[in-house]
Amino acid sequence: MKHALVVLLACLVGCTVPTLEEIEATSPPYACSAEFACPAGQVCVGTQCLRPDQLACMPGTTESCGSGVGECREGTRTCGEQGSFGACEGETTAVAEVCDGLDNDCDGTVDLVSRLFERPSPGFALNATVFLGTSSLLTTSVEGGDILVRVLEPGQSPRLSESFGPMDKSTLILGHALLSYSADSAVVVWVEHVVGTERFLLRRVALDRKGQRITSPSTVTFSTKFSFLRDMRITDNAGQILLLAEWSNQAAPSEDGQDSRELWAVVLGKKDSSVLDIRVLGSATEQFGLHATANETGTGFLVAHERGGQRFLHQFSVGDSTVPTVSIPLHVPGSLTHSPFIADGVDKSLGVRVYFVQKRDSSPVSEIVSVRCVVSSSSDTSNCSPEATHYTDPHAIRRAWLGLNPKTGLPGFALFSWRDEGMSHDTLSVAPLSADSTSATATLLLPTESENQTLVVLPDSSRYVTFTRKNVSEPGAPDEAALLHFCAP
């Protein structure tokens, strides 16, 4: 008796009596059924009584689900008898982005970029072209010293279709260009250097719509004192292909601008890819760049380039004596100009328009302007006069690519890279071109560093830009080559 009294006194001093909630929290769940209800504050789930904090949700309750961003719409989900939510019903989910002015993929941006694929490419830039009147995209890139051809069909992943290596172990691929000239035909042209010599090879091969070779590669050997191929551009007219090649005696521009350059025009026949003509158009410079297109007759070519510090619009033809050879000065004194683009529009009576970027030394503002040129065999009537300013940007544009409006045949938007003072790399943006140059607003496409950009426009108005960039994820790895899909304004 004395012992029990001691224990009771000890408990009164040092023992803690658990609460009812603590007892229920550590006790096995109550059983429940249609006949036996759960205690107050608990719900019957299956055959067990559970507290609300043991459930994901209270049976019978509902809540919103999904996204309300862009074209997505929220739905509703209901908590089932087991205390968990069911499927989201009535929602509108994200779909692939298309060029319709809407945020289809519900990422908070309208008609912006979606990456399709990227490949390591230690060589020249990735090139792309579209078969005329179709949505079949063809790409070429230099990987491991070989030219690889890939085809991208709507709704499918890129497919490797062909590869072309150097002629033999003594040659090295310097650069390549790609052009499609019908719904079923394309040509890839590349230059190889016979290492240790002044000899070079111009090689070309025709491809079909599946990206497979139609003919075996053909080769022409030539010599030049220049060892470095700076740039390659390609265009076509009714029956010929024009390849522009900019050569230099240095791999990169010299600070004093005294490095030697030469601009070559190589004309190929479409039927058999035979070389019809090779001519030197003059010295090219790094500032202005190159652009070429067919003139309105369809049998000649127009080339915008720089020679001896002067900008020119040069017209010539191979095999058509009715097209005169003439060079027209593009008078733009006092400005840094670059990125020429030639367009003659639907109304041929207005002459040929040459668009380019200009930036005055005293201002950070860049403008995309046009001059109208009358091309004639007489030097007295061949002239270019200022026409309009189509876009004004507060940044220092370094290079621009223009996309045509299919209704007018004139540029409707500009893709451009820019870099302001203090920036370490270029940024890529896109903007509409309009009669009122102050009303357009640019959209940022790519804030990261990129080089060797090329613009491709499909018949359905889809736009692609190809580019290369440093592989920052793997130090010492080759540059990455990427193809991005975007929508223009």
> CB atoms < 10 A from the CB of 468, how many?
25
Amino acid at 390: H
- pLDDT tens digits, one per residue of 263-280: 899 999 988 778 999 988
Determine the pLDDT at residue 166: 92
- pLDDT tens digits, one per residue of 206-238: 999 889 999 888 999 999 888 888 888 888 888
- Listed residue (262, 295, 266) closest to 278, CA to CA: 266
Q: In a 10 Å sphere around its CB, with 0-12 CB exposed, 13-18 middle and 19+ buried, how is residue 461 labelled?
A: middle
> Given the DSSP bridges, would you call strands 275-282 and 186-194 parallel, antiparallel or unpaired?
unpaired
| Residue 355 CA to its chain's centroid (Å) | 21
- pLDDT tens digits, one per residue of 61-113: 899 999 999 899 999 999 988 888 999 999 999 887 777 778 888 877 776 65
Which pTM does this prediction carry? 0.71
Amino acid at 467: F
3-state secondary structure labels for all residues of the chain: CHHHHHHHHHHHHHCCCCCHHHHHHHCCCCECCCCCCCCCCCEEECCEEECHHHCCCCCCCEEEECCCCCCCECEEEEECCCCCECCCECCECCCCCCCCCCCCCCCCCCCCCEEEEEEECCCCCCEEEECCCCCCEEEEEEECCEEEEEEECCCCCCEEEEEECCCCCCEEEEEEEEEECCCCCEEEEEEEEECCCCEEEEEEEEECCCCCECCCCEEEEEECCCCEEEEEEEEECCCEEEEEEEEECCCCCCCCCCCCEEEEEEEEECCCCCEEEEEEEECCCCCCCCEEEECCCCCEEEEEEEECCEEEEEEEECCCCCCCCEEEECCCCCCEEEEEEEECCCCHHHCEEEEEEEECCCCCCEEEEEEEEECCCCCCCCEEEEEEEEEEECCCEEEEEEEECCCCCCEEEEEEEECCCCCCCCEEEEEECCCCCCCCCCEEEECCCCEEEEEEECCCCCEEEEEEECCCCCCCCCCEEEEEEECCC
Provide the CB-side half-sphere exposure for 406 (13 A, CA).
7
User: Per mean pLDDT, which range of 284-293, 314-323, 359-368, 399-408 is the poorest?
Assistant: 284-293
Biggest CA pair distance of the chain: 134
- pLDDT tens digits, one per residue of 463-474: 778 777 666 666
Say yes or no to pLDDT of 253 above 60: yes
Hey, which residues does 15 pair with through a beta bridge?
A: none
Provide the CB-side half-sphere exposure for 53 (13 A, CA).
3
Determine the pLDDT at residue 10: 45
**Are the C-beta atoms of 406 and 460 separated by less than 8 Å?**
no
Higher pLDDT, 318 or 59: 318
